[in-house]
Amino acid sequence: MSTPVIETVATTRRPEVPREPAGPGTRGSGGRRGNPWLTLAAVAFGVIMVGLDGTVVAIANPYIARGLHASLPDLQWVTNAYLLALAVGLVLGGRLGDRFGRRLTYLVGVVGFAGFSAAVGLAGSISGVIAFRTLQGLAGALLLPNTLALLRSAFPAEKLNAAVGIWGGSSAVAIAAGPIVGGLLVEHISWQSVFYLNVPVGALGLVLGLAVLAESRESSRHRFDLAGLATLALSLFSLVFGVIKAQTWGWGSPKTLSLLGASVVIGALFALVESRVEHPLVPLRLFRDRSVSLGTLTVLLNFFALFGVLFFVSLYLQSVFGYSPVEAGVRTLPLTTLFVVSSPLGAWLTGKFGPRVPIAVGLGAVTASLAFLTQLEVHSPYLYLWPPLVGLGLGIGLVVVASTDAIVGNTPVDDAGLAGGIQSTAVQLGGVLGSSVLGSVLATRVGTVLVDKLTGAGVPAALAPKFLAAKEIVAQGFAPVPAHTPAPLAAAITEGSHAAFMSGFHVAMIVGAGVAFAGMLVAPFIRRGANSGSGPVAP
């Protein structure tokens, strides 16, 4: 799921690179092209597309699994292939916009995102879905970095904060609406329709963008850091692929260890490359500042929790509890709605106290909420679910804004754009690792306890081990009941399978809580940056 966020933007901005002459309609001319508020409306379509995509896919996952006979790792790759491509391509997408034009790169991203979304729905196989989701992520990497660059080009300094707030708010609203929209579409039309939705949105965004966006680009060109891009992509791919395959190969498997080791080695090579090239993809000097490094870490840990929870709560509500997609979407609103509300609150707290207080409070709320989710059982009332979702939405929103302030505020103004790219990459990587690591933990736990849970529910001891072959189905919350099974035995298989899923869910939430708690411990070491906003902003 991609989540553009509200950034704290310094009053002093990076000097604007001269744009190509655009005639009447450049900033301040009063014309249509380059008009600040029309520019904001145009880029909002792109932000909404990406925001919707994350949460509607979470709702569609059970239907994709049934329609395409997909396993749990397949479903994770539907999410992770997109997120990985997006994470790897964000910095490159921003650099392409600087070189070839931000308007052009953004519009290419809009067309690509909408087109590949349609291709996902038409694919007809899980491998095709994963392939087109990868291309969709690459298109999103062209789109997202250039939305903020276009706003910075169009708005005067004194109005940029308001514009960025609306920019981030449009994404938050899309995320909140995603579960409802996705639920209605998959329940009444098909799971493919959640991807077709991007086509009309993208078409409107393209038409408006062609009409109102003004072009801007860098005045001097630098050689692309292809070696840095290649080593970063290979390192991230090895990490995520190794984590996902660990649930089938085992964490101690030579293949798993080889992939994880390769990720570390290639990551070290990436650092070496970046220290040697004249114009690195990611200048390592930025991370010498402790607050930039720790701010990036807290963003990653924050979205580790968000993506993991959305993925498994959606499976729990639909597969275990039996809610329809719309009912499941409505029941995730406490999380997404509080995320919308807590973002401006986080900006106010950050302005008043600096980033360390909202980060500590936010990750404390996330930790407590994940711990509370371990009390859920198969037949728990909704009363047990909505309070931790509220806590998660509140905590995640606080951390997003404060961590972004820690990154951008402690980065030189000339590197503000790159700092935004680092923050966005941390968001995507956190999402990849959250769904991958917690999914692997859940599946491993299900395989460990499944036989005991089945026999405890009344399945004969001689029959229970045969269901281990279906542990991936159980890890999605389904009960592998064979056709023509007598009703009492079918009930026992269902009860035992759901109990095994909940055991894995509990362990995954414990791991997530531990990760969030570790992030909370580093918050006191993050300081307010010299480039942060000068004062508190009213919530």
Q: Would 534 be classed as within a structural domain?
A: no
Both 308 and 271 in a single domain?
A: no
**How many domains does the structure of the chain reveal?**
3
Both 265 and 348 in a single domain?
A: no
Both 418 and 466 in a single domain?
A: yes
Q: Would 16 be classed as within a structural domain?
A: no
Q: Would 269 be classed as within a structural domain?
A: yes
CATH code for the domain in which residue 442 is found: 1.20.1250.20
Both 338 and 448 in a single domain?
A: yes
Letter for the amino acid at 155?
Answer: F
Both 3 and 148 in a single domain?
A: yes
Both 203 and 95 in a single domain?
A: yes
Both 90 and 178 in a single domain?
A: yes
Q: Is residue 450 within 8 Å of residue 478, measured between CB atoms?
A: no
Both 231 and 346 in a single domain?
A: no
Q: Would 17 be classed as within a structural domain?
A: no
Helical H segments across 479-533, by residue range: 487-522
Q: How far apart are CA 68 and CA 76, in angstroms?
A: 14
Question: Would you state the structure tokens that stand for residue 56, as one six-digit string?
Answer: 């509607």
Q: Would 454 be classed as within a structural domain?
A: yes
Helix-strand-coil split of the chain, %, nearest 5: 75, 0, 25
Both 308 and 211 in a single domain?
A: no
The residue assigned the tokens 């390592």 is: 284
- Residues 67-88, mean pLDDT to the nearest whole number: 77
pTM as predicted? 0.73
Question: Would you state the structure tokens that stand for residue 74, as one six-digit string?
Answer: 């397949």
172 three-class SS: helix
Query: What is each CA distance from 402 to 8, 141, 247, 347, in whole angstroms?
Result: 8, 23, 34, 7
Q: How far apart are CA 346 and CA 367, in angstroms?
A: 17
The per-residue pLDDT for range 295-318, each reduced to its tens digit, is 888 888 888 887 777 778 877 887
- Range with the lowest mean pLDDT among 19-28, 127-136, 489-498? 19-28
The last residue of a domain, from among 194, 215, 236:
215
Phi-psi category of residue 156: left, alpha or beta, with phi > 0 → left and psi -120 to 50 → alpha: beta
The per-residue pLDDT for range 377-413, each reduced to its tens digit, is 888 888 888 899 999 888 888 888 788 777 766 776 5
Query: What is each CA distance from 21 to 25, 97, 518, in whole angstroms?
Result: 10, 17, 51
The residue assigned the tokens 């994963």 is: 130
Q: How far apart are CA 437 and CA 246, in angstroms?
A: 9
Residue 113 is part of which domain span? 1-8+27-215
Letter for the amino acid at 317?
Answer: L
The last residue of a domain, from among 196, 215, 234:
215
DSSP state letter for 173:
H
Q: Would 323 be classed as within a structural domain?
A: yes
Q: How far apart are CA 420 and CA 217, in angstroms?
A: 17
The last residue of a domain, from among 189, 215, 241:
215
Q: Would 47 be classed as within a structural domain?
A: yes
The per-residue pLDDT for range 319-362, each reduced to its tens digit, is 888 787 677 777 877 887 787 777 777 777 877 788 888 899 99
Both 2 and 59 in a single domain?
A: yes
Both 135 and 234 in a single domain?
A: no
Q: Would 231 be classed as within a structural domain?
A: yes
Both 271 and 305 in a single domain?
A: no
